[in-house]
Homo-oligomer: A and B are copies of this chain.
């Protein structure tokens, strides 16, 4: 049997046919059909699923489920995309639309950050864990929770907003309208902004030279590269960033006693240059001597497809 995993993003709609060993045996990526909205999206999912099955020498009877993840919020029934701004979906009954094409196959829908956590659980950093958290550091800070060996979408199905835990009560403004959220300190955007401040404060810094003195050329990677090469201004920005991120991770550990916290997103590409000091920082701040691991997320671009394909398995899981 196969499961189809569909990862809908604002740019591309990526799909994979996933076998029982969680290999993506066939895959396809098409431009997200934004103009066609929900109806065209459902139709494309149907057509591409048949293509993928055909290429694998299988047919619809070999399909256990169609799982779909979207960058947005899903209603409590798991049927409607309440808001997915990048997709232009608002109160979009996507599940029903897809089900109309697959009358005999279960269709499941979830938020993509939750799906990514599920992918880590079934195939990545969380294998063997029952309690784990994924923090994804990008433009914002997203993530997902595994609790009791299952995907957790919040006690009221509102989702889990790891990026909006309070890290500095009353602190920096966050795009959510609140102040002091994890996202305001730990996103790649926050790292970039601190990089800009530092380059402007110190025109002689490597930071300023690498960005050619232009704020718009600063980004998280420039900060990390300069810090790695020992530029004083960059090291200071990076160390502060690690300290904030360490607080965010320690907060998760002290509250949930996670077996594993995985860090994904662009910033995590810094590798051990980030993880070595981060682990020290978390250990110092952890209430428990014997606390969970802090590791890079490993599923990368496949997280969406694998997570989506595992939604049925997650739903069926009895504890």
User: Given A169-B168, A284-B178, A287-B176, is A158 in contact with B257 using a C-beta cutoff of 8 Å?
Assistant: yes
**Chain A 143-184 against B: per-residue CB contact (8 Å), 1 yes, 0 no?**
001011000111111111110111111110000101010000
Q: Are A165 and B254 in contact (CB under 8 A)?
A: yes
**Chain A 274-297 against B: per-residue CB contact (8 Å), 1 yes, 0 no?**
000000000011011011100000
Q: Are A161 and B292 in contact (CB under 8 A)?
A: no
Residues in chain B near residue A287, CB distance under 8 A? 158, 161, 164, 176, 178
Q: How many residues of A contact B (CB 8 A)?
A: 51
Residues in chain B near residue A319, CB distance under 8 A? 319
CB < 8 Å neighbour of A156 from B153, B248, B284, B290: B290
Residues in chain B near residue A243, CB distance under 8 A? 169-170
Interface residues of A, dominant DSSP: loop
Q: Are B247 and A160 in contact (CB under 8 A)?
A: no
Residues in chain B near residue A171, CB distance under 8 A? 168
Q: Are B158 and A290 in contact (CB under 8 A)?
A: yes
Residues in chain B near residue A262, CB distance under 8 A? none
Q: Is A211 an interface residue (CB 8 A)?
A: no
Q: Which of the 9-residue segments A96-104, A126-134, A190-198 touches chain B? A: A126-134
Residues in chain B near residue A158, CB distance under 8 A? 257, 287-288, 290-291
Q: Is A121 an interface residue (CB 8 A)?
A: no
CB < 8 Å neighbour of A291 from B145, B156, B285: B156
Q: Are A156 and B292 in contact (CB under 8 A)?
A: yes
Nearest 10 pairs between A and B by C-beta?
Answer: A131-B155, A154-B257, A169-B247, A158-B288, A164-B254, A166-B247, A166-B251, A161-B254, A158-B257, A161-B287
Residues of A whose CB lies within 8 Å of any CB of B are 129-132, 145, 147-148, 152-162, 164-171, 176, 178, 180, 185, 243-244, 247-248, 250-252, 254-259, 284-285, 287-288, 290-292, 319
11 further A-B pairs in the complex, CB-CB below 8 A; given A166-B248, A178-B287: A132-B155, A147-B152, A148-B148, A156-B290, A156-B291, A158-B287, A164-B287, A166-B285, A169-B243, A176-B287, A319-B319
